[in-house]
Structures are given as structure tokens and as C-alpha cells.
């Protein structure tokens, strides 16, 4: 069964637009997480960025205490955030690239360039009982490096697929990259998740990719929730995901 991890970052984005720096504010990302769980989500994803533009430290600790499903903490491979992760002890961390000027995470992690430091972080997390995923492009060398790091999972960056979705030729080429990447990762013993830019319109095409265990979806769910509510948006996505056959 393909699982859904609901990313609640942009609920916090909306809160911070009005209440940044205050002890209170709405909408509450914790409430969004609980509603998503009640609707059937298999896990909750949140990205504690170094610049704290949306999710705050208090949100991560509250999520760990209050949700009953799997907490996936997206994070940069940075000492401050590593220390917080080791205190929070989420079920899994997904290490992502992070640049201060980007609107959202752009591109995959360069595992080859940071193999030594990522291996050290992976060992710390695993020693604390935390699984590790690396957010990467479907690139053969990056996948091989992820296996050498010892990560339990990779998360295939589907942003390029989402960007070219309306162009049939480019979509086919990008899907092939994702299919080949998933097969290569699986052969190396890596478990495969995917995420970025996924929505109700492009999701079915992604089902050509084998070995997927979980999709992490955020912005499109929050966007749909503006019109139909979070519970309905999550249920709608889960209904589509039931059609996946690896």
C-alpha cells in the first residue's frame, strides 16, 4: 500500500504571515496534522528550516508529542538542526538541501559532495533509533552515494516531473529517469519515497514508478484545503493513491 505523508509546512507559512514572532497564531499546523491523521494520513512531514520561515521549534516538539502516526522531520545537514532532531527523536529524518533565498526546496541533495558528513549524521541518527532518508534527484551516482552513506531511504525529487508535466515528451523522459532511479535504488537495498510538486492532476502518471512506499505531499493539499477543507483534501489524495500498483 502506498502511504501518504502530509507536509504541513504551508499551514505554518500562513500563520507566520500574520503572527510571526508571537506565541500564538492561526492556523495551527498541529491541528492540521491531527485532522490529516483523522482523515487517514499515514504520517506527518514538517521541515524545520534554518531560517524558521514557517515551522518553528515548538511545532516540531508539539508534533512529536501529539501525533499518533509517523513524524518525518525534513532538515538540512546543519549542526543546530541535527541537535534538535536528536532531542525530538522523530521516526525518520529526510535530509534536504537548503538555500536561504529559495522559495521552496530546489533540486536534490548533492550526496557525492557531502558523503563523509552525511555518513556521520546518518550514524548519529541511527544510533538514536531514527531512520534516515536523503532527498535526491533520480541520478545514478547520487543513488549509489546514498547507499554508501547507509541511508535507509531515498526520497526521489519529483519537482522536475511536475514542472514538465504538461509537455508529453519531457514528461515521458522524466518519468523514465524516476523509474530507472527507483529500480536502481531498490537493487542497492534502498527503500524509495517520493515528493515535491505532486498534486491530483499529475499523481496518476507517477504510478509508473515502481517500489514507492510513501509520497510526501504538502503544498497542493494545503491549496485544496482552502476550498474543500483539509480532511476532504487528504481523503481525495488517499483515494487516488489506492490505484498505485508497484
Cell for 37? Answer: 491523521
Which residues carry out catalysis? 47, 74, 196
- CA neighbours within 13 Å on the CB side: how many for 24? 0
Task: Decide: 153 and 191 in contact? Cβ < 8 Å.
Answer: yes
Task: Decide: 97 and 47 in contact? Cβ < 8 Å.
Answer: no
Compute the distance between CA of residue 85 and CA of residue 73 in angstroms, rounded to an integer: 8
Number of Cβ atoms within 10 Å of the Cβ of 49: 20
Q: Which of 144, 116, 142, 120 is nearest to 132 (CA)?
A: 120
DSSP string, 126-161: HHTT-EEEEEE-S-HHHHHHHHHHT-SEEEEE-HHH
**Segment (H or E) for 215:** strand 212-217
Amino acid at each position: 500500500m502506498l502511504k501518504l505523508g502530509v507536509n504541513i509546512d504551508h499551514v505554518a507559512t500562513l500563520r507566520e504571515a500574520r503572527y510571526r514572532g508571537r506565541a500564538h497564531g492561526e492556523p495551527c499546523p498541529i491541528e492540521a496534522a491531527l485532522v490529516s491523521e483523522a482523515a487517514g494520513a499515514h504520517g506527518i512531514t514538517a521541515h524545520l528550516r534554518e531560517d524558521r520561515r514557517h515551522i518553528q521549534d515548538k511545532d516540531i516538539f508539539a508534533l512529536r508529542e501529539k501525533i499518533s502516526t509517523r513524524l518525518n522531520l525534513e532538515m538540512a545537514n546543519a549542526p543546530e538542526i541535527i541537535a534538535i532532531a536528536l532531542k525530538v527523536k522523530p521516526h525518520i529524518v529526510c535530509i534536504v538541501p537548503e538555500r536561504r533565498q529559495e522559495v521552496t526546496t530546489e533540486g536534490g541533495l548533492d550526496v557525492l559532495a557531502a558523503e563523509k558528513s552525511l555518513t556521520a549524521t546518518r550514524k548519529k541518527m541511527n544510533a538514536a533509533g531514527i531512520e534516515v532518508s536523503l532527498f535526491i534527484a533520480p541520478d545514478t551516482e547520487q543513488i549509489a552515494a546514498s547507499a554508501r552513506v547507509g541511508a535507509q531511504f531515498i526520497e526521489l525529487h519529483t519537482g522536475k516531473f511536475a514542472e514538465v508535466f504538461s509537455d508529453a515528451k519531457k514528461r515521458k523522459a522524466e518519468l523514465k529517469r524516476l523509474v530507472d532511479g527507483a529500480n536502481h535504488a531498490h537493487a542497492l537495498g534502498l527503500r524509495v519515497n517520493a515528493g515535491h510538486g505532486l498534486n491530483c492532476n499529475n499523481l496518476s502518471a507517477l504510478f509508473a514508478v515502481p517500489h514507492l512506499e510513501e509520497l510526501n505531499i504538502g503544498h497542493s493539499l494545503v491549496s485544496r484545503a482552502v476550498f474543500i477543507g483539509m480532511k476532504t483534501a487528504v481523503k481525495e489524495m488517499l483515494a487516488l493513491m489506492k490505484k498505485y500498483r508497484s
